[in-house]
Structure 1
Amino acid sequence: MRLAGKEKGCGLLWGAALGMLLAGATFAPVEAQEAGAPAPEGTPAGQAQAMQAPMVRVGDLVRVEGLRPNQLVGMGLVVGLDGTGDGRTSAVHVQMFANMLRNFGLNIDPALLRPRNVAAVMVTALLPPLARPGDRLDVTVSSMGDARSLAGGVLLQTPLTGADGEVYAVAQGSLILGGSTARSLTRERVHPTVGSIPSGAIVERAVDATVAQEGAIRLVLYDPDFVTAARVVQAINQALGSPSAFTSDGAVVTVRLPRAYQNDPAALLARIEELTITPAIAARVVINERTGTVVLGHQVRIAPVAVSHGAVRVQVGAQPAPAAWPGDLQQPESHVALLSGATIGELVDALNAAAVAPKDLIAILEAMQAAGALYARLEVQ
């Protein structure tokens, strides 16, 4: 229920189960089956691809509509700092400190307060679905003022509210600044104005959640796909022995409650979550230009294309390599030629043999995508 209101290396991952980190300009792809190898005789191409994909629990592919986390936030004070709290330029913590003292029966003029061991902070947490009073939550504490460090501080009792303004949890405890004391970390990597309190909040109020609505359960796919949704529907109907499940948009699977589960939808969900299917794997190439990481699906195909990038020339097609490349006075230093229908795996193998740098691989893939020769979605991060 919803509440109202540079380059250091190159990584390469094959599919969902095989992967290897690539350093420098070395590419060492690993595949369960040689790229481009023909499917077994009498086996359709689609079935051959499914044979290589893993079986996955339905419970790992979907979530139940109506069961969702909710964000909580609160404003509090961190005390016990060693003179690293908010300075004179921040009046928020002074007023909050005066208000706290007033709650304890002490009326003090805020103008007289100069607490350098106190800092005003924002406290955030995530309330998971089905959380009950007494459950504990991890919280994150962030400085609001000009405090230099929250190291050694203690968060005072802070109510955490949802989007509807209601209090759902209360946080309190000693802060932990992850990595701030590790000698291996440089000073620039330490962020002393943000800390955490593991299990630092106690749930005070539960969020009402409805698993079944109007006699049906709606399963939302984490990664919407028509093929995956159809396979989920097929698996559920086979398990229940009746056409109880259907999908209309590839993102949501609706399951009507059978008579045996009218009063026990949780048991039906438990049975559905244990079913296994082979999800569809979209052809996708993910590139992180900042880190040089490239994630490739080994089933990605390449159309006939010729790419010229610096001293590297790539040609995908049945025709032999041209005697001379347009605009070039001499032959390229590295020339890669592949047959039509080649895969990304074959391309990387060839570029690996030619000692092509990671940045050049990224540029070549981007050029192929721009030319419409890469049969996959190219995502640049």
Structure 2
Amino acid sequence: MKASSHSLLPRALRIFWSLLAMAMLCAAGPAHALRIKEVAAVQGVRSNQLTGYGLVVGLDGTGDQTTQMPYTTQSMQNYLQNMGITLPAGATSQLQLKNVAAVIVTAQLPAFAQPGQMIDVNVSSMGNAKSLKGGMLMVTPLRGADGEIYALAQGNLVVGGAGASSGGSKVQINHLSAGRIPQGAQVERSVPTPLHEGDSITLGLNASDFQTARRVADAINTRMGAGRATALDGRTVQVQAPTAPGARVNFIAELEELPLESMTPSAKVVINARTGSVVLNQAVTLGPCAVAHGNLSIVISSRPVISQPNPLSQGQTVVSQQSDIQINQEPGNIIQVPPSAQLTDVVRALNALGATPQDLLAILQAIKAAGALNAELEVI
């Protein structure tokens, strides 16, 4: 048995260096002018989440075990009663619905969706069904947050996987308890969108930033007239718009295509502590500092030791464990990190440390605590 801390991960380190090199090339390339549609969206124009409970039938014996999932049996009984079929007393408990599975159906109702249009749906098992492959979803009402029905879903599932089991052995590729039905739901009711209400529209920025809000307002006022747009805060910009429906749509179409001046994002380093990913944007800079980092590995090995009794001694064989513990610590040299004003210099300085991505998480946090990392550190 081996437990190691800060072990060398050459392959992960190569991947990390490659990602940083890609970021360096992107930063060194020509700046691409952003459009308003890439940093903001019209408030009120949004999709809505729909969900519903349904049954998938036609499975090849891979459905729910009804003895453990009573709601599957109850749902099928209710469906049969709606079809005019009444089961005799006591027959419900004897149903063996191996080809039926209870599922949760979800979908997104796009903005401006009208009755009769088709949308995609996702189907996920909520019981102990082994596989939904080959099944068909029965008619399932999809409801919104207000409890009203906005779409009806039905169709054959597409499951991107395969599996087989026999004699206690099992082979499975991908996930079999969830699938998708392309164009599997028909919209029955539209959601009103307040696009044409009032004499103005509000742009909501994707990220809160006062500088971005000011530049969006300036770009609109420069192109469409002074006083047309006002930055209310770091997240919203109010724009005076025509009241006629056709003119307002044309106005928004032109508004979204307006270019913005080159913007420098706030310096940020994003760390994913679960995967060891580190992402830096082009505004990150480093101050002068010195870093010492070494690798520590602990190896614990155990082997059985058997003690045999002498012949005719009526003793018992005794088995014990003998453990050996070894601690190896590699020397950590102090490396001077020079001040870095560009992303290329930051990448070069971090590469000089020779640390793995997992080690880099701790190093960056320590550099930030020392005041040498001029960026916001976000751990996700």
* SS of the residue 2:184 aligns to: strand
Amino acid across the alignment from 2:290: A
Report which of the two has the higher share of strand. Answer: 2
> Which residue type is aligned with residue 9 of structure 1?
A
1:187 CA displacement: 5.1
1:62 matches 2:61: no
Question: Residues 262 and 103 (structure 1 numbering): CA distance in 2 closer, same or farther, change over 3 Å?
Answer: closer
> Which of 76, 84, 87 is the equivalent residue of 1:105?
84
Q: CA separation of 1:174/1:258 partners in 2, compared to 1, >3 Å: closer, same or farther?
A: closer
- In the alignment, which residue of structure 2 is the partner of 1:129? 111
| Alpha-carbon shift at residue 71 of structure 1 (Å) | 0.7
* Residue 245 of structure 2 is aligned to residue 266 of structure 1: no
Report which of the two structures shows the higher radius of gyration computed on alpha carbons: 2
- SS for the counterpart of 1:219 is strand
1:28 and 1:121, CA in 2 relative to 1: closer, same or farther beyond 3 A?
closer
Q: Aligned to 2:131, what secondary structure does the other structure show?
A: coil
In 1, Cα distance between the equivalents of 2:223 and 2:22?
Answer: 42
Aligned to 1:46: none
| Correspondence for 2:71 among 92, 100, 117 | 92
Which residue, out of 249, 261, 265, partners 2:233? 249
Shift of 1:21: 3.3
> 2:105 aligns to what SS in structure 1?
strand
1:295 aligns with 2:279: yes
Equivalent AA in structure 2 for residue 227 of structure 1: Q
Work out whether 1:30 is the aligned partner of 2:24: yes
Per-residue deviation, residues 330-377 of structure 1 (Å, max 9, x unmatched) = x96544324345445324313434543333333211211233321112
Which residue matches 2:152? 170
The number of residue pairs the alignment matches comes to 328
Q: Following the alignment from structure 2 to structure 1, what is the Cα–Cα distance between the partners of residues 277 and 365? A: 14
Q: CA deviation at 1:65?
A: 1.0
Aligned equivalents of 2:295, 2:73: Cα separation in 1 = 64
Judging changes above 3 Å, is the alpha-carbon distance between structure 1 residues 300 and 359 closer, same or farther for their aligned structure 2 residues?
same
Q: Partners in 1 of 2:24 and 2:95 — Cα distance? A: 65
* Alignment deviations for residues 297-344 of structure 1 (CA, whole Å, 9 cap, x no partner): 2331123333332279xxxxxxxxxxxxxxxxxx96544324345445
Normalised TM-score (structure 2): 0.77
Alpha-carbon distance in 1 for matches of 2:369, 2:204: 33
- Unmatched tracts of structure 1, length 5 or more: 1-5, 14-19, 35-50, 313-330
Measured at CA, do residues 373 and 355 of structure 1 come closer, stay the same or move farther in structure 2, by a change above 3 Å?
closer
The code of the aligned residue for 2:46 comes to R
- Are residue 220 (structure 1) and residue 204 (structure 2) matched? yes
Q: How has the CA–CA distance of structure 1 residues 173 and 165 changed in structure 2, closer, same or farther, with 3 Å as cutoff?
A: same
For residue 262 of structure 1, report the CA deviation from its aligned partner. 7.8
Aligned-partner residue type, residue 61 of structure 1? V
Whole-angstrom distance in 1 between the partners of 2:27 and 2:41: 32
TM-score of the superposed pair, with normalisation by structure 1 = 0.77
Partner of 1:275: 258
Aligned to 2:19: 21
For 2:358, the aligned partner's letter is K
CA distance, structure 1, for counterparts of residue 200 and residue 371 of structure 2:
43
RMSD: 3.0
Matches within 5 A, 1:131-150: 131-150=113-132
CA contact (8 A) 1:92 1:145 kept: no
State the partner residue of 1:190. Answer: 174
Structure 1 pair 279–157 and aligned structure 2 pair: CA distance change class (3 A): farther
1:319-358 equivalent positions in 2, closer than 5 A: 334-343=333-342, 345-353=344-352, 355-358=354-357
State whether residues 284 and 376 of structure 1, in contact with CA within 8 Å, keep that contact through their aligned partners in structure 2: yes
Alpha-carbon contact 2:293-2:332 (below 8 Å) kept: no
Q: Which residue of the partner structure matches residue 304 of structure 2?
A: none
CA 1:137–1:105 in 2, change beyond 3 Å: closer, same or farther? same
Structure 2 Cα separation of the partners of residues 33 and 59 of structure 1: 22
